[in-house]
Amino acid sequence: MKLAYFVHDLNDPAVRRRVRMLRAGGAEPVVLGFHRGETAPAEVSGAPAVDLGRTYDARLGHRARATALAAMTAGRWRRLLQGSEAVMARSLEMLAVASAARVLAGLRGPLTYECLDIHRMMLGEGPKARAARAAERALMRHADLLIVSSPAFLSAYFEPRQGVRRRLRLPVRLVENKTLEVEGEAPRLAPAPAPGPPWRIAWLGAIRCARSLDLLTDLARRRPDLVQVSIHGRPAYTEFTDFDAQVASAPGVTFGGAYGAEDLPRLYGQAHFCWAIDYMEEGQNSAWLLPNRLYEASRFGAAPIAIARVETGRWLAARNLGLRIEDPRDLEAVLDGLRAQDYARLRRELEAMPTSAFVADVAESRAFVAAIMTATAGDVAKVELDSSTAKVAI
């Protein structure tokens, strides 16, 4: 089943995981997208990749121009896309490109809009925000399925702001940011680290929250006896005054750079906790998302630290997992009072959960691909949302 997959960044590790999931589910994706690294890969997780050019973090104007150019010249991919049974777009900008390519290539298969974040640009009441939402609504009228990674994206934005089910009658499917394990890929889990201070906190993934960095470096600077922090991933340098200098000046805080999926068992296995707090878009996207690190850390034994009142905290509370706090300023007192038996309980609770809570397998991948291939706009009668258990079904 050939599928055309339009992505915002060919270098994004989450894109690689999604392509693996598509292939595990029986699809043969062709990946078309921009890239944010120095170079674009020739393939993504075994699927051929087509580079649409380089874009940059926080440069929305440049990205808008690149998106418009890609959409206007989408006809040049007609031969490449020929035979595609479905089209999927990851993010709003790629939905514009995919919609144009679908028309210009004469494709008749369903179009899926995959939304993994709600950008703050979409949430204001000024003319730019209203225009962006109007453009999204117009593009979604041509889509057959909406995929979200958190139920709060539907309940806080897509339904009240965009009328996805009520006006657009667009089916919705929840596909959480789980890790992916196909047959024979079950990782070897590291034994739990010795309990007790200094408690080791891992912050992995997209490193983009300046307030989180301030909180962690401040605590490590004041209490090197209490915490150590290891940071791995890709920092959004535009969000920080001087990321490297701030890390270097804090004792017990280290930055290990980028990593691969094969490194996750080791990196999380060395930590007691995972930092799953984000303030980049406080009260908006940061309060609604269910990040990759939530599932990765839980799978590999690092108890997530989350704010209780946001979606991540509610997800953990529904499963009685993790360290849920009301205010990150409480973390010092919480860790000061944490006993070895308290940590052992947190670890046991993670280990007692079925792996399906954190991991997608071949069966889930096949159901995902089947939903994409058979999506039909207007078929919303069976869409259900249950935020307490984070389930959306079609």
Q: What is the pLDDT confidence band of residue 342, given thresholds at 50, 70 and 90?
A: very high
DSSP-assigned letter for residue 121: G
Predicted confidence (pLDDT) per residue in 188-225, tens digit: 777 889 998 999 999 999 899 999 999 999 999 999 99
- The secondary structure of residue 1, as a DSSP letter, is -
pLDDT at 54 over 80: no
- Position 322, amino acid: G
C-alpha closest to that of 52 among 61, 60, 29, 41: 41
Domain covering 2-179+361-393 in this structure, CATH number = 3.40.50.2000
Kindly state the tokens that stand for 327: 């205010």
Tell me the domain boundaries of the chain. Answer: 2-179+361-393, 199-356
% pLDDT > 70, the chain: 89
> What ranges make up the beta strands (E) of the chain?
2-7, 28-35, 43-44, 47-54, 86-90, 111-115, 145-148, 172-174, 179-180, 199-207, 227-235, 253-255, 273-275, 303-307, 323-325, 359-360, 384-386, 391-393
Write the CA distances from 173 to 11, 17, 270, 297, 342, integer angstroms. Answer: 25, 18, 35, 24, 37
Cα dihedral sign, 85-72-128-90: positive
CB 10 within 8 A of CB 31: yes
Q: Note the pLDDT of residue 309.
A: 95
Assess contact for 29 and 4: CB atoms under 8 A. Answer: yes
Cα angle value 172/177/180 (rounded, 5°): 115
Same fold, 2-179+361-393 and 199-356: yes
Q: Under CATH, domain 199-356 is a member of which superfamily?
A: Glycogen Phosphorylase B; (3.40.50.2000)
pLDDT, mean over the chain: 88
Per residue in 219-228, pLDDT tens? Answer: 999 999 999 9
User: Among 46-55, 62-71, 279-288, which range has the highest average pLDDT?
Assistant: 279-288
Which DSSP symbol is given to 143?
-
- Those residues whose C-beta lies under 8 Å from the C-beta of residue 370, and which sit 6 or more positions away, are 25
